[in-house]
Amino acid sequence: MMVCLFVKRFIFVLAAFCWVSGDVALAKHAGITRHYKFDIKMQNVTRLCQTKSIVTVNGQFPGPRIIAREGDRVVVKVVNHVKYNVTIHWHGVRQLRSGWADGPAYITQCPIQTGQSYVYNFTITGQRGTLFWHAHISWLRATLYGPIVILPKKGVAYPFPQPFKEVPIIFGEWWKADTEKIISQASQTGGAPNISDAFTINGLPGPLYNCSAKDSFKLKVKAGKTYLLRLINAALNDELFFSIANHSLTVVEADAVYVKPFKTNIVLITPGQTTNVLLKTTKHHPNATFLISARPYATGPAPFDNSTTAGILEYSTNKTIITTKKLPLFTPILPVFNDTSFATNFTKKLKSLANANFPANVPKKVDRRFFFTVGLGTSPCPQNQTCQGPTNNTKFAASVNNISFVQPSTALLQAHFFKQSKGVYTTDFPANPPVKFNYTGNPPSNIMVTSATKVVQLSFNSSVELVMQDTSIIGAESHPLHLHGFNFFVVGQGFGNYDPNKDPAKFNLVDPAERNTVGVPSGGWVAIRFLADNPGVWFMHCHLEVHTSWGLKMAWIVMDGKGRKQKLPPPPADLPKC
Ligand code: C2O
Ligand code: CU
């Protein structure tokens, strides 16, 4: 024990040895190091009777699970063997003073080029639950994604009954065509990219699609047990309703933060969100099978993939011959695709535990206030080209406060750290919309966005209140906004235009949900608060990839604080170059 405490100060690997040797007292503080190797390579995968070569990690689809405990260090060596530039993002991991490992291309790093590698190195601090990793460049996350399972520290129990088994359920979106071609073509023409051909559960579309019955996820359970389902929405462009026929679920965690448990038959999960639910199986074998299904919650003006992915919940028996085929199959009832009142009620139920062990540290005073409109718009068509955007010869665009973010050609974090921002970005991102209008009423006649690389600069430890307001330009739509580097508290939401005089009185500063991705309600607004206690450059964007591609993204720069532990360390030596 003495030796362990001593060496712990010097080398993590030795701390890991102490952990293995059963030094629980120490382990509670130190955590171990977990090494992973991600070989990015092509793999032939057949779905819907069509074989396609997709980008994978280690040839696996979905990709491998990262499993760690709270407090562990995770080291992932990513080697790029494909023709595309690649980066990997550890979605929801706070990356405290490890912003170089965050992963969004041209924000915190230049991409890993063909034949190159990069080691992502970060410690999971103060988080436990489900998150996920995904590629963070172009549309590569269509096939490059996998779960991150963060267990509590050794010897620490869940604040709910210990489940019999834990099962990650990761939703994806499948195109028969090459997604990189789809997005590169769409960005040239300015038109909307093609919608997907299927949704998937753990990579499998399931029996409701043509030529897909054999590609169905099966959840085999025993009667009278509790299962923890770790739901992850890794789909590119669609929020999803999820349900299991004849079974109710208890939500216990969202975005790697425990919530006050509540029962529901249906879960709404946006791209970028994760939700842990407890599934209690029936006391006795029910002599039936049950469909597990998910299909979109869609509010926007554009066409969407209105199909349903399904898996099968099967009860196992002790009999050797399982004849599930003969058993009746029950199907869950999911809300209609545009059921915004369901969405609103569901998100309102999510509340922090807010107890002594898991306090909700909502910033009570606000240093900086921001009001951002989020929504669609248009941008001009380049000369000598015809474009297929929403209005005559324009391109589809999306913006925050009418700024459509232009991806720089070098990483913002590098430019910031080495004080070379000139020509890369400016710090004049507007705190309010440049033009006031009735955001949820008739749109203004000019819906052209401004294209620029602008950021907001925040001093260390400032507390931020941000109201995000949907606009009805081209069409009101729910936008799942994701913030890197922080969890935020969802203190308020409403429909119509946000009223700064009346609405703050209704804010929940006691037990609001704490998360990293929140749906800005279709035709409404959401208010969040966070403490800027993590120095670095932090991306914020809609997690509908099509909107990100159109520019619905921006970045916050959090400056170093004065203290030794309030500064971003220099980049690792192998940080990729542009
Ligand atoms: Cu899940 Cu910026 O991403
Ligand atoms: Cu969006």
- For residues 337-349, average pLDDT: 98
Q: 454: Cβ below 6 Å to ligand 1?
A: no
Coil, strand, or helix at residue 561? coil
Cβ-contact 266, 243 below 8 angstroms: yes
Cβ-contact 351, 513 below 8 angstroms: yes
| pLDDT at residue number 323 | 61
pLDDT digits (tens, 9 = 90+) for 487-502: 999 999 999 999 999 9
pLDDT digits (tens, 9 = 90+) for 61-97: 999 999 999 999 999 999 999 999 999 999 999 999 9
- Closest atom of ligand 1 to CA, residue 141: 1
- Is the model's pLDDT at 254 over the cut of 80? yes
Res. 325 pLDDT band, cuts 50 70 90: low
- For residues 451-480, average pLDDT: 98
Report the mean per-residue pLDDT for the chain: 94
Q: How many CB atoms lie within 10 A of CB 492?
A: 21
**Pairwise CA distance, residues 16 & 26, whole Å:** 10
Res. 317 pLDDT band, cuts 50 70 90: confident
- For residues 229-252, average pLDDT: 98
- For residues 182-208, average pLDDT: 97
Q: How many CB atoms lie within 10 A of CB 53?
A: 12
Q: 539: Cβ below 6 Å to ligand 1?
A: yes
pTM score above 0.85: yes
Q: Which of 316-325, 366-375, 506-515 bottoms out in mean pLDDT, i.e. has the lowest?
A: 316-325
DSSP strand pairing (117-123 vs 145-151): unpaired
Which structural domains are found in the chain, ordered by start?
14-151 (2.60.40.420), 165-349 (2.60.40.420), 368-566 (2.60.40.420)
Query: What tokens does 69 get?
Result: 């405990």
**Cα-to-centroid distance, 534 and ligand 2 (Å):** 25
Coil, strand, or helix at residue 17? helix
Give, in degrees to the nearest 5, the angle at Cα 291 between 290 and 293. Answer: 150
**380 beta partners:** 394
Q: How many CB atoms lie within 10 A of CB 427?
A: 11
| pLDDT at residue number 319 | 65
- Is the model's pLDDT at 57 over the cut of 70? yes
**Pairwise CA distance, residues 497 & 375, whole Å:** 14
Q: How many CB atoms lie within 10 A of CB 94?
A: 23
- For residues 116-123, average pLDDT: 98
**Cα-to-centroid distance, 469 and ligand 2 (Å):** 12
**Cα-to-centroid distance, 481 and ligand 1 (Å):** 9
Cβ-contact 483, 514 below 8 angstroms: no
Query: What tokens does 483 get?
Result: 């913030």
pLDDT digits (tens, 9 = 90+) for 381-423: 999 999 999 998 999 999 999 999 999 999 999 999 999 999 9
Buried b (16+ CB within 10 A) or exposed e, 194-217: bbbbbbbbbbbbbbbbeebeebbb
| pLDDT at residue number 30 | 80
pLDDT digits (tens, 9 = 90+) for 5-32: 433 344 444 344 433 443 444 444 589 9
Q: For 369, how many CA atoms within 13 A lie in the half-sphere containing its CB?
A: 5
Give the whole-number percent of the chain exceeding pLDDT 90.
93
| pLDDT at residue number 321 | 54
Radius of gyration of the chain from its Cα atoms, rounded to whole angstroms? 23
Among the bound ligands, name the one nearest to the CA of residue 552. Answer: 2
Q: 541: Cβ below 6 Å to ligand 1?
A: yes
Q: 104: Cβ below 6 Å to ligand 1?
A: yes
**Cα-to-centroid distance, 480 and ligand 2 (Å):** 6
Q: 484: Cβ below 6 Å to ligand 1?
A: yes
Q: 482: Cβ below 6 Å to ligand 1?
A: yes
| pLDDT at residue number 19 | 39
| pLDDT at residue number 326 | 81
Report the candidate in 210, 212, 192 with the shortest Cα–Cα distance to residue 201. Answer: 212
**Cα-to-centroid distance, 91 and ligand 1 (Å):** 6
**Cα-to-centroid distance, 367 and ligand 2 (Å):** 27
- For residues 277-305, average pLDDT: 97
Res. 241 pLDDT band, cuts 50 70 90: very high
| pLDDT at residue number 68 | 98
Among the bound ligands, name the one nearest to the CA of residue 471. Answer: 2
Total count of residues recorded for the chain: 578
Res. 318 pLDDT band, cuts 50 70 90: low
Cβ-contact 129, 120 below 8 angstroms: no
Tokens 């929020």, residue? 239
Q: For 471, how many CA atoms within 13 A lie in the half-sphere containing its CB?
A: 26
Q: Which residue has the higher pLDDT, 322 or 440?
A: 440
Buried b (16+ CB within 10 A) or exposed e, 57-88: beeebbbbbbebbbbbbbbbebbbebebbbbb
**Pairwise CA distance, residues 200 & 327, whole Å:** 24
Give, in degrees to the nearest 5, the angle at Cα 219 between 216 and 222. Answer: 150
**Pairwise CA distance, residues 395 & 258, whole Å:** 42
| pLDDT at residue number 6 | 38
Question: Looking at residue 55, what DSSP letter applies?
Answer: E
Report the candidate in 152, 124, 118 with the shortest Cα–Cα distance to residue 137. Answer: 118
**Pairwise CA distance, residues 366 & 38, whole Å:** 41
Query: What tokens does 265 get?
Result: 């038959």
Res. 175 pLDDT band, cuts 50 70 90: very high
Q: Which residues contact 118 (CB under 8 A, 6 or more apart)?
A: 77, 78, 109, 112, 574, 575, 576
Cα separation of the two ends of the chain: 46
**Conformational region of residue 307, where left means phi above 0, alpha means psi within -120 to 50, and beta covers everything else:** beta
Cβ-contact 43, 5 below 8 angstroms: no
Element (H, E) at 348: helix 340-349
Q: How many CB atoms lie within 10 A of CB 359?
A: 11
Q: Which of 10-14, 159-163, 487-491, 525-529 bottoms out in mean pLDDT, i.e. has the lowest?
A: 10-14
Element (H, E) at 3: helix 2-8
| pLDDT at residue number 29 | 54
Among the bound ligands, name the one nearest to the CA of residue 549. Answer: 2
